[in-house]
Amino acid sequence: MFKALLINKTDEAGYRCALTELDEAQLPATGDVTVQVAWSTINYKDGLAITGQSPVVRSFPMVPGIDFAGTVTASSHPRWTVGDQVLLNGFGVGESHWGGLAQMARVKGDWLVALPAGLSARDAMAVGTAGYTAMLCVSALQRHWADNDMAPGRGEVLVTGANGGVGSVAIALLAGLGHKVVASTGRPQEAGYLKSLGAAEVIDRGALSAPGKPLQKERWMGVVDSVGSHTLANACASTRYGGAVAACGLAQGMDLPASVAPFILRGVTLYGIDSVMAPMAKREAAWATLANTLDRQQLASITREIGLADAVAVGRDILAGQVRGRLVVNVNA
Ligand code: NDP
């Protein structure tokens, strides 16, 4: 038997997520690798799954948790053997296939990444899908800047949703690369935290969240946006000639009320970032860079540890914008 969060949806009881005990025999038959999970996390999408606020869960009952790190205990996949240290992000895990907010998981071996050398399972989940997505955003910008001969001194980089998981890790990564990072937040009281991660300036997100002009004063050589909606439109409208915006989130909204002006008059590039189905080579490169570059003390300052039993309440908090940085879940606590 093992502990897990389980989501059920019935006409009688409605949508419910609760801590329960399951039998290993109940794990999905479709997987070819069984993993003893050590650590998982709560991302924004986990909040959506746990609360049912958005229909991210495709079948019931479902174990939520879009990521986990742990040790292989059984495998019929050629790449993995018992004792391997692995991590997983996305591929529909925690949405259409049982996920990581549990002490055991059975998944397809093709979805697993070897835990990079030098990164503990706990640190990997402190980074989690949010931090790995921040890395994908930063990598897209770096490739763009390299192709367009834009060195760090060529302008400021905007990070929106700064106190969130994606935002916090993006600030740390960009500042570590020598960029002048401007953090946009609705929580100005956290300015000290954002500056400790490397933000040079903190701005009120209200400056970006209302409808704005199609072209605005050029400021950003790049943007990491986890917010969407008017914020993303305004970020594009104030990106400098030839700059780039990496869009990965929708914390403000899924809409994009923008004009084509920044793209056709300033050559701005908008990169869409998806972590869920990202190809394996891209994942492995992102995790290797994270393992080699992310400052562990900063990662510790970003991270709060919780137990599996706390995850339901915290899933509500993350959607309410009340979580700062990253949450790592000790599934054995
Ligand atoms: P968090 O909840 O940790 O962070 C989101 C942040 O956005 C909040 O901390 C807050 O920052 C800001 N925010 C919240 N509500 C609003 C609002 N109404 N208007 C403007 N800003 C707001 O989430 P994550 O960092 O884990 O994820 C961020 C987004 O990225 C989510 O939409 C998530 O679904 C998406 N995502 C996408 C992935 C992909 O593959 N494309 C992968 C991972 C995440 P502050 O308080 O500083 O203003």
Q: What is the 3-state secondary structure (H, E, C) of the chain?
A: CEEEEEEEEECCCEEEEEEEEECHHHCCCCCCEEEEEEEEECCHHHHHHHHCCCCCCCCCCECCCCEEEEEEEEECCCCCCCCCEEEEECCCECCCECCCCECEEEECHHHCEECCCCCCHHHHHHHHHHHHHHHHHHHHHHHHHHHCCCCHHHCEEEECCCCCHHHHHHHHHHHHCCCEEEEEECCHHHHHHHHHCCEEEEEECHHHHCCCCCCCCCCEEEEEECCEHHHHHHHHHCEEEEEEEEECCCCCECCCCCCCHHHHHCCCEEEECCCCCCCHHHHHHHHHHHHHHCCHHHHHHHEEEEEHHHHHHHHHHHHCCCCCCEEEEECCC
User: What is the distance in A from the centroid of ligand 1 to the CA of 155?
Assistant: 24
Once rounded to an integer, what is the mean pLDDT over residues 226-255? Answer: 97
Task: Tell me what pLDDT residue 89 has.
Answer: 98
Assigned token pair, 86: 């692995």
Q: For 176-235, how does the pLDDT look when each residue is reduced to its tens digit (9 = 90+)?
A: 999 999 999 999 999 999 999 999 999 999 999 999 999 999 999 999 999 999 999 999
Give percent above pLDDT 90 in the chain. Answer: 96
Q: What is the pLDDT of residue 21?
A: 97
Query: Tell me: the pLDDT tens digits for 29-49?
Result: 999 999 999 999 999 999 999
43 in ligand 1 pocket by Cβ < 6 Å? yes
Closest ligand 1 atom, CA of 165?
25
- Cα 133 from Cα 146, distance rounded (Å): 20
User: Is it the case that residue 6 has pLDDT exceeding 90?
Assistant: yes
Segment 50-63 shows an average pLDDT of 94
pLDDT, tens only, 296-322: 999 999 999 999 999 999 999 999 989
Atom of ligand 1 nearest to the CA of 47: 2
Measured from the Cα of 250, ligand 1's closest atom is 32
Residue 13 pLDDT > 90: no
Ligand 1 pocket member 324 (CB < 6 A): no
Looking at residue 326, its pLDDT comes to 95
Whether 250 lines ligand 1, by a CB cut-off of 6 Å, is: yes
Q: How many other C-beta atoms are found inside a 10 Å radius of the C-beta of residue 272? A: 9
pLDDT at 153 over 90: no
Whose CA is closest to 101, among 65, 51, 127? 65
pLDDT of residue 302: 95
Length of the chain: 333
Give this prediction's pTM: 0.96
Domains located in the chain, CATH noted = 2-115+302-330 (3.90.180.10), 128-272 (3.40.50.720)
Cβ of 133 less than 6 Å from ligand 1: yes
Q: Is 45 in the pocket of ligand 1 (CB under 6 A)?
A: yes
Q: Give the tens place of pLDDT for each residue, 283-293.
A: 999 999 999 99
pLDDT digits (tens, 9 = 90+) for 124-137: 999 999 999 999 99
The number of C-alpha atoms within 13 Å of 3 and in the hemisphere containing its C-beta is: 13
Ligand 1 contacts CB of residue 77 (under 6 A): no
Range with the lowest mean pLDDT among 65-79, 140-154, 232-246? Answer: 140-154
User: 47 C-alpha vs ligand 1 centroid, how far in Å?
Assistant: 11
Give dist(CA 58, CA 92) in Å, integer: 9
User: How do 156-159 and 199-204 pair as beta strands?
Assistant: unpaired
Whether 245 is in the pocket of ligand 1, judged by its Cβ within 6 Å, is: no
Nearest CA to ligand 1 atom 29: 249
pLDDT tens for residues 154-189? 889 999 999 999 999 999 999 999 999 999 999 999
